[in-house]
Amino acid sequence: MNRTPIYQSADHIWMTEPVAFHANSQTMATNSYQSADPADIGAVQKAARAEFLNFRDTLVGAGIAVTTTLGAPDSPDDIFPNWASVHVLENGARVIVYYPMLNENRRIERRPFMKEILERGYKVHLDMSAAEKDNKALESTSALWMDRIHKVAYSALSARSDTELAQKWCAHMGYSYVPFHTRNHVGKPVYHTDVMMFIGTDFVGICLECILPDDRMRVRENLEKTGREIIEITNEQLLEFCGNALEVRARDGSKKLVMSGSAYRAYRNDQKEAFLRHVSEIIYTDLPTIQKYGGGAARCMMMELF
């Protein structure tokens, strides 16, 4: 039987334009990177929308296909589409998985019209959203960093990445599971795995420093098995969202690494040179408002469409 090639990076991105972006008070207990809203929330939305549009247009200008949907006024975080992931199986089937979100005003982000758009091209393979009734969460590719080529799911354990749900996901998808504990700058778990690591076709960016010592070597050894170059990120760089990046494929087939402007400036030259051994370009735009009040950055804003 001929198997469909599996790519690590996507050539099409889904993004959700914000309508009422601001600091989500429901998520602040677990997200240590957020700041509370200022008096003028409208100014936050205006600035965030401008940052979003500039980021989207920069991606399109770099030859990356982008589908944009419009958010809703009751969803302050829908700029971060963490509620679904899509996959191409070895038999060529294009499928979608839906995920349970931790906070109530994030659960409504799985809007019927957005699901209908996705289901035009993907068959529902797994829907885990019912776990929200038990207040359990597994927030998609933010909770599970998927090595799609070797079928390994890495997960920084937190309230947004339930171990039991992750094990069920791995069993269903045929992945092995590599969970680990982290500690951030205020002594809490890093709330999302995609804040502290990312996996490209031939390289990994990861903050091993924030992984607790008992788990650190095990994570490194699993990454080393793949033969990828490991490019380490420091705890200080983590605060600039250096761990929140994504490899994508442009229309001409070239691979590019996408990150925020603060992340790009925080990387040392030797780290940038290491990335450029594996991608043709590092794409970045400034996202200060989105980072400050949303506690997420470039990777959080992109859902991969394979």
Give per-residue pLDDT as tens, 227-238: 999 999 999 999
Domains (ranges, CATH) in the chain? 12-304 (3.75.10.20)
| Three-class SS state of 274 | helix
**Which residues in 69-102 are b (16+ Cβ under 10 Å) and which e?**
bebbeebbbbbbbbbbbbbbeeeeeebbbbbbbb
pLDDT at residue 75 greater than cutoff 60: yes
Specify whether the backbone of 142 is left (phi greater than 0), alpha (psi in -120 to 50) or beta.
alpha
The pLDDT value recorded for residue 4 is 83
pLDDT at residue 114 greater than cutoff 90: yes
pLDDT in tens, 34-69: 999 999 999 999 999 999 999 999 999 999 999 999
For residues 199 and 228, the answer to whether their CB atoms sit within 8 Å is yes
Question: What is the side-by-side order of every strand in the sheet holding 123-127?
Answer: 84-88, 94-98, 123-127
| DSSP H or E segment with residue 193 | none
pLDDT at residue 1 greater than cutoff 60: no
d(CA 181, CA 158): 8
Name the residue among 198, 132, 144, 149 with its Cα closest to residue 170. Answer: 144
pLDDT in tens, 169-198: 999 999 999 999 999 999 999 999 999 999
For residues 150 and 204, the answer to whether their CB atoms sit within 8 Å is no
pLDDT at residue 167 greater than cutoff 80: yes
- Residue 254 CB partners (closer than 8 Å, separation 6+): 63, 279, 280, 281
Sign of the Cα pseudo-torsion (39, 41, 47, 51, in order): positive
d(CA 118, CA 303): 11
Whether pTM exceeds 0.95: yes
Q: Which CA distances in Å does 188 have to 66, 134, 157, 215, 306? A: 34, 23, 11, 16, 33
Read off the DSSP letter of residue 10.
Answer: B
pLDDT in tens, 125-164: 999 999 999 999 999 999 999 999 999 999 999 999 999 9
